[in-house]
Structure 1
């Protein structure tokens, strides 16, 4: 059990590991009280050892490890990599590659919709994980031997999980499927935060263009403010408060201070001044520059029936190919497909088209039917 907390120890580890073809990676972090995740521990597994690197140590310079991590000759194996990769993207504004995500690979190999690391370790590595430290505070020092042992388990067994999944992918010739999925994880756009688009994640029922303009500018301002202060965006203003401000459009401190969802003290603070300034900027926008609610297209005739047929097809194809249905198509994908009359959907390209998309188009066009024959559901040419 090794905890690296000095640059010299880190360099010695990198020297030992630099010729490995792949390494397993995991991180421990906290972000409950911050906007940016605080990296607290990095676990790395090689063919010979597993180590935990302490990025909070004053004696450690993390840059040599980042250079090692971004070596394109070494495959980086994660499980459910999205949040780990976000941390490394924030450190270098780039995503380490090449990548392998064992959760995605497990979905391709038929281990369920969102296979947990714990279940894969039990199934593939024939081991049982101790998850008693799952909710520990990783920012506190010193770390106990039990914490370190727990953390190393997340990369020790991942080597076996990766090797067995890769063998299965080679046998089924599905390695390219996983590679296609890694394109999203490898894209910097996956981790970039655009303040101008943050208003779109806020749920609103009905809104006029002017109200949407206020909401858009307020959400962008809040995002930037949260980043500057490094606090969760809800600590600046909650979504409900943004909606209330957008609806009322307060133009002065008195109007702002009378709002129910806002602490009256904020109206007389710099925060209050910023809010009023943002509202005034939104009110000054020409109407044609204000956001418009997305028009809801009318449902095509027989949409519900078409969706039911496609969902049945999705289950058939998922079972036939032993792949997670969610990886082939989501309910939203199917709805987009039907509304566009079979012209738009993520499954209309790549391996998904071969497995599902081509037959989905035939179902929608009436070229293929579904029957129950000899105790099995089958596809047949339409009469």
Structure 2
């Protein structure tokens, strides 16, 4: 189907935004999308906000609007559904502009997965599948902070929300008669309620091979990983601009005490050392002197080969249940619960569910799974 769209309405001042927000608050649903740049910053730089009502498309200019309070009220309304596609970074942009995260989210990528259209389906493919619309992607990586935007950019941005409410209606029709509908709404609600950024004090646990380090080295790793996260946010620079990810483990392992030895650490560039070298050395010295009671507990080693058989049992059950529920396997077994379950089986002889697994996955899928798998094998 050839692509076409209405001429967008530009919103470029505070009063106009406030007036339209009053109107949009009366709607049942709006389509939203964002364009931004994140090449040399920790936080995305908002370049454009697109809003569709089904009849009209509005382009909100964050370079000219500086009072986003009316938009924050719209985002927070539980009565107006906000329809987005793969919305995690959009939520971040909204929070930066307005201080608010959208309530009543409907994520069409998530809904498409529940509807059996494919897991992590891109918007372009979703439109092709549901509407037969071929959406061009010519402007994806362009400069959204330039003004004026090119005609291609404006067309691309407009098309991103023109069909979104139509997709929402079609997915609703498919899913509402199914139990999947309430599960989808639960997942969409969690998108609004989750943390935007990881906890700085927990970042050391994500470093590869951290389990190999001794307690004093782990103390250095924890201090440096937390500093890296906090400093990247404070300075609004990419994390690797502060300390490259590949440098964290060798810094903790070898604990350099001067600039020369620091420069020998893997991935440490001259720019890292020039801007942050003295602080990194100071933190290493401080962390290595902390008393033993302040050292982190060692992380467990990777799962042994003995876990493979138990992992296969989990995967077989998950595949059978996914087929029974007509859902993608990825929606059932979230990666973050697999390893804790296998560790519990090796340590206690039983599969146990991690506390963080809640909601429909726990009651519909995980609790019956552990009950069955914990029975003595025949």
The interval holding the TM-score normalised by the smaller chain is: 0.7 to 0.9
> 1:292 is matched with which residue?
297
Deviations 1:309-353 (A, max 9, x none): 332332222223221110011455344334422221589754334
- Mapped partners of 2:254, 2:357: distance in 1: 44
**1:102-251 → structure 2 map (5 Å cutoff):** 102-187=108-193, 189-204=194-209, 206-251=212-257
* Conserved? CA contact 2:33–2:90, under 8 Å: yes
* Conserved? CA contact 2:105–2:189, under 8 Å: no
- Mapped partners of 1:258, 1:121: distance in 2: 51
* SS at structure 2 position matched to 1:190: coil
Does structure 1 residue 76 correspond to structure 2 residue 82? yes
Match of 1:13 among 2, 15, 20: 20
State the Cα distance separating 1:174 from its structure 2 match. 2.5
Match of 1:314 among 318, 324, 331: 318
CA pair 339-207 structure 1, distance change in 2 beyond 3 A: closer
Structure 2 gap ranges (5+) = 1-6, 345-349
> 2:328 is matched with which residue?
324
* Conserved? CA contact 1:50–1:156, under 8 Å: yes
* Conserved? CA contact 1:348–1:358, under 8 Å: no
- Mapped partners of 2:214, 2:207: distance in 1: 15
* SS at structure 1 position matched to 2:366: helix
Does structure 1 residue 277 correspond to structure 2 residue 286? no
Range with greater deviation from structure 2 (10-19 or 119-128): 10-19
- Mapped partners of 1:300, 1:256: distance in 2: 37
* Conserved? CA contact 1:226–1:233, under 8 Å: yes
* Conserved? CA contact 1:89–1:95, under 8 Å: yes
> 2:43 is matched with which residue?
36
* SS at structure 2 position matched to 1:171: coil
> 2:92 is matched with which residue?
86
Structure 1 gap ranges (5+) = 368-381
* SS at structure 2 position matched to 1:73: coil
> 2:351 is matched with which residue?
342
CA pair 354-213 structure 1, distance change in 2 beyond 3 A: closer
* SS at structure 1 position matched to 2:32: strand
Tell me the number of residue pairs that the alignment of Structure 1 and Structure 2 aligns: 365
Range with greater deviation from structure 2 (96-105 or 309-318): 309-318
> 2:3 is matched with which residue?
none
* Conserved? CA contact 2:78–2:104, under 8 Å: yes
Match of 2:61 among 33, 48, 54: 54
Q: TM-score if structure 1 supplies the norm length?
A: 0.85
